[in-house]
Structure 1
């Protein structure tokens, strides 16, 4: 497993992958920026509306006090936007990954598994559906874990474990669906649930590193391509006919 992670890391900066890296990082930054601006505008509107409502209820004598409170809330909202952007990075990278899944997988298969039949590109709709589903589940987990953040860091532990499960599941199934039907890919993931979850912990650790986590789609997909190949084991039907004939001639000799 660690060998697969090292291979994924080393290939991320290779010339063929560099173009995908910059495009995925750029898209992730755009999504983070849009999310941060939208969240900041919403929180600012909420603070202003709340101040107006409170002043109407309490009277003009509390205007100065409410102004100070609104200012404090605005500052807290700014920190919340930054914190939220970091915590929601798994959701953002899940969407980005769905756009580059096949490009990354093809480079890994071509470099490390040239003798095997390459996978079939996923339909765009299917890949996007998987990415959005994982992103939605990640946001749901984030909202559930948020109240526990201040309880000895329990929220962070909950979010980390959940992110490992969600990201491991998504990237493994995307890698597997290049060779199997969606139902078969999900069944294989369930049969190897412990291994996939452990691999997901490595991806969750990667996505928790600020700035570096922008490259999660490349690392996660490349890593799970290797994991799928290893869990699939020797599959003669994936070997090119020319290689099978050569192997057969050696056996006869």
Structure 2
């Protein structure tokens, strides 16, 4: 592979850099790391593109990205395998007495609300003989569409989800619960993290905050290579579009 990377194919600087990399990394290991970094940078670029649209469809546009991007919330979300929990989703849909709309049928792992959606992601706990014994850690992510404030109503709604899941036995007292309510604006006075039982955290958070955290987790690489061709392609798949609803209202 090194021999193939000669001056006929690569500029001198690139050829030397590639030789240096391959002197310290195997080709397969370098590809593994670069592919993972590229996937994460693409996700961030696509998310930024979608969040530039007022009134973005959080069910079909945002939730699938956050389902793949729990790593953005911190390193502890990578230490275990989190999967969407449709059973818990069904419990919350019944709690809210939600009709089975098109969105719910298309996205059975999300709770579809008028201006937001809720995703529930869980990893199992194991007993002393290594058998699955309930849920060890539950992540609740409520995504508000862009242009909608996060307030006390949203916080209390997530607390109701928690109580209902406890009531029907989906989670146990020892289950750790991290709930995030994300939007592009937070009602004044609602920025704080309210006191809840030990092991339960419900946090309003700006989309911009989670993106900045993600950038720091990737050593601020996004800022250095945001003009790379593969990132440009990700943003182009998420074009910034004018808000049709606002234009319609203005016309009216």
Is the structural similarity TM-score above 0.5?
no
**TM-score, scaled to structure 1:** 0.26
Structure 2-normalised TM-score? 0.26
The structure, 1 or 2, with the larger RCO (C-alpha pairs under 8 Å, 6+ apart) is: 1
**Which protein is richer in strand relative to its size?**
2
